[in-house]
Amino acid sequence: MMDLWPLSCLLVLAACLTWLAVVDLRTGYLPDALQAVLAASGLAVAFIGSPIGISWPAALAGAAVNGGVFWGLRWLVSRLKGREAMGFGDVKLVAAGGLWLGPWALPFIMAAGGILTLGGAVVVGAVRRKPVWRGEMPLGPGLAAGILGTFVAALAQVTWLMLAPL
């Protein structure tokens, strides 16, 4: 059975990420107010004592690294495509996820986000019987699942997942 603090952190994170994912699926938008709640709670958890061992300096580094990498990807892909390729809400979501998980989680978040988003597009395309990859695909739900899955794996102390350097 999980202790109260890790369970509370998991419930807050899951509630915020689920709400963000649902809103993004319905509207294509990740609201700033909810992103602020996610970020503030992640920073508070880091200051109080993260159940997965993320210190507040690592949390701040995670926000900076994650946000910087995604901002760079957004800029690069938008330039290559000649139009906006990713919303700024996705950048903020990954930065807020960095407050919860630190900088070492970014590859896991990106992998899960990409795989789940593409998998979702394939399923929707199969159901609608037409491909959706030429239109808009919300990335937020995949990123949210990646953040939550990484946090759960860290709580479960998966041996290959090292988010807090020794």
Instruction: Write the pLDDT tens digit of every residue in 36-69.
Output: 999 999 999 999 999 999 999 999 999 999 999 9
Query: What residues contact 75, with CB distance under 8 A and at least 6 apart?
Result: none
Query: What residues contact 76, with CB distance under 8 A and at least 6 apart?
Result: none
pLDDT-derived band at 125, boundaries 50, 70, 90: confident
Query: For residues 139 and 113, is the Cβ–Cβ distance under 8 A?
Result: yes
Would you tell me the crossing angle of helices 88-101 and 106-128 to the nearest 10 degrees?
Answer: 130
Q: Give the residue with greater pLDDT, 13 vs 126.
A: 13
Buried b / exposed e along 44-57 (16+ C-beta atoms within 10 A)? ebbeeebbbebebe
pTM of the predicted protein model: 0.90
How far apart (Å, rounded) are the C-alpha atoms in residues 12 and 5? 11
Instruction: Sort 126 into a burial class: Cβ within 10 Å, 0-12 / 13-18 / 19+.
Output: exposed
What are the structural domain ranges in the chain? 4-155
If you average pLDDT over each of 57-66, 74-83, 122-131, which comes out highest? 57-66
The sign of the CA dihedral 31, 60, 152, 5 is: negative
Instruction: Write the pLDDT tens digit of every residue in 146-165.
Output: 999 999 999 999 887 877 66
